[in-house]
Amino acid sequence: MLFISHDLSVVAYLCDRVGVLYHGRLVEIAATRELFNAPGHPYTRTLVAAIPGSGKRHEASIPAGGSTSEGGCAYAGRCPHARDPCRTVMPALRPSASNTLIACHRAGEI
């Protein structure tokens, strides 16, 4: 079953695996527990931090300004970690050390 929601608390309760979209592009796919305990993509981190009671509220702000990049990562204009090639090369979903799939050039560094 595919469940689509903006309410991550409900997603955490109902789902075994989670796919996170940013501007219609998958940025992370992970087992629910892994995603909520150790989000790998900067956008996923922002979403998880915004959950009331997460204890991570200080990380929840998305930098103002910035737009999606032409050809690069859709989140690069708002990502505090964006560098080259983030703005010019679309990152592919790749396996991470935690056995999740993350579309981020800097996933192993941040």
Q: Is the pLDDT of residue 60 over 50?
A: no
pLDDT digits (tens, 9 = 90+) for 61-97: 555 455 555 689 999 999 999 999 999 999 999 999 8
Q: Is the pLDDT of residue 3 over 80?
A: yes
Give the pTM: 0.85
Sorting pLDDT into bands at 50, 70 and 90, what band is 56?
low
C-alpha dist (Å) from residue 44 to 27, 41, 104: 8, 5, 11
DSSP letters of the chain? -----S-HHHHHHH-SEEEEEETTEEEEEEEHHHHHHS--SHHHHHHHHTSTT-S-GGG-PPPSS----SSS-TTTTT-TT--TTTTTSPPPPEE-TTS-EE--TTTTT-
| Separation CA 57–CA 50 (nearest Å) | 6
Q: Is the pLDDT of residue 58 over 70?
A: no
pLDDT digits (tens, 9 = 90+) for 18-41: 999 999 999 999 999 999 999 999
Q: Is the pLDDT of residue 107 over 50?
A: yes
Q: What is the pLDDT of residue 62?
A: 55
Q: Please, are residues 46 and 60 in contact by the beta-carbon 8 Å criterion?
A: yes
